Structure 1
């Protein structure tokens, strides 16, 4: 691993920093906790939902209708996230973790590919990375520690414990499912956002 990192002028610290995203809480030894914790968001501006956007066509004023989180456990994003999307002009995104070399199926790392380029060094990109990484850990049933030497353990012994039993059963690793016959045909899993339903209202008096 060290030699592969040196080729890119990286170190184990770079890997560690990628895994230790400030928004996610981890145990002191680098594992995801077995209990549910709130995201580490800005305490002064936590929101749980976007209800809409209001445009004043006379003045050009824009008002965001954001539902404030009543507790830190409800917070899903904050004002910094909203500002980041607007200033970076992020209107869509694409993200994938791929094997860096097809000829090495057991390569210890994966290559992060994303678009647009404006996602670079943003919490938006970190959200995509950790969502994809979490999906991989769930589908394989293996959790990777964020601290060197990046040990592994069964996900069922770690972060999966925070889920109710019925959901743990639904999210069992592929090779533990009763329909494991599909194993040979499974190539990859991904998360795809659908169309956002919205209503358009025009008020001449406002």
Structure 2
């Protein structure tokens, strides 16, 4: 198996995950900057590997499998760290909504792929907006939240960065439910079809 540049960038993003956890728990005053920087770098590599793959046609089956796995792992770990640093009811709820939706949609996509209808649950525009809101929220919260200390109240545009992160995470969670409902709506006919009809539709597609 030949490793392409996009795949190497994806692997680097996975390596950043344990580094992010380690840095989060270091007892130094600069760890919030480092955590936010690591997450920003991971988000940049996520964009960069996709751009390189499209620009130079460096696609691979392994890279296509690994890229969403790396993204979901990074987001889930960042959410777990944030909830551990600021364990409130709302923060926990938003994290549960986002992680739960990712698990449900991943399972739905896998099942739709098995019956030959993966294109039915392709990424919608609302999902891209959700991703942007989610990335901004996690970046702000990783900068603001540290273990065993109150959230930092550093301001940005007249508002504490922590509060901006909270609001953006709430917005991302709501958009997550919305986009998840769209995926479910698109897949609903296949979910409700009986086994015979599903087999027939797969045979006709082939």
TM-score of the pair, normalised by structure 2: 0.27
**Which structure's residues are more often strand, by fraction?**
1
Larger radius of gyration: 1
RCO higher in structure (CA 8 A, sep ≥6): 2
